[in-house]
Amino acid sequence: MIDHVSIPVSDLDMSQKFFDAVLAPLGMTRMVTLPERAAYGKRYPELWLNLRPEMGRVPAGTGSHLALRVREEAALRAAYDAALQYGGSDAGPPGPRQAALTSYIGAFFTDPDGNRIELMTFPAG
């Protein structure tokens, strides 16, 4: 089982503003703020941002893919909208998707550093 995930960021202040806005609709808040890292979660730190000032933007189509499960489609859409408002780039607007074993509602974007993020919810049905 995965306990937490860390992603590199080139500008911690900018990334904190981005993730503060994106993760709020998902019920996650910033729980740790240190000079070179920050962490978000619901009850404990699950997603860490690690400052890497020498890092350039992740080239398109490379790097990691982080998928976050969302309880409701409205929260997914609010988080996606916040991502675009706070410096993220669209990589697939909210809508139906087909996974290997089931269908779901998903949205894709990159953070300001190019880290790829997916939001997903499984409608009752």
SS3 category, 13: helix
Looking at the domain assignment, is residue 17 inside a domain?
yes
Specify the pLDDT at position 123.
80
Query: Which CATH number does the domain housing residue 26 bear?
Result: 3.10.180.10
Q: Got the DSSP string for 23-88?
A: HGGGT-EEEEEETTEEEEESSSEEEEEEE-TTPPPPPTT-S-EEEEE-S-HHHHHHHHHHHHHTT-
The pLDDT of residue 59: 80
- Judge whether 60 lies within some domain: no
Asked if residue 125 has pLDDT above 90, the reply is no
Do the domain assignments include residue 58? no
Q: Is pTM, for the whole model, over 0.85?
A: yes
Q: Which domain holds residue 11?
A: 5-53+65-121
38: amino acid identity, one letter: A
Q: Read off the pLDDT of residues 48-78 as tens digits, 9 standing for 90 and up.
A: 999 998 988 888 777 789 999 999 999 999 9
pLDDT tens digits for 70-113?
Answer: 999 999 999 999 999 999 999 999 999 998 888 999 999 999 99
pLDDT at 43 over 90: yes
Please indicate, yes or no, if residue 92 is contained in any of the structural domains. Answer: yes
Q: With respect to residue 110, please indicate whether it lies within any of the assigned structural domains.
A: yes
Measured CA to CA, the distance from residue 52 to residue 2 in angstroms comes to 23
In a domain, 59, yes or no: no
* In-domain check, residue 88: yes
The CA distance from 73 to 15, in Å, is 24
User: In this predicted structure, what is the pLDDT of residue 73?
Assistant: 96
Phi–psi pair at 34, nearest 5 degrees: -125, 165
What total number of domains does the chain contain? 1
Q: Would you say residue 73 lies in a domain?
A: yes
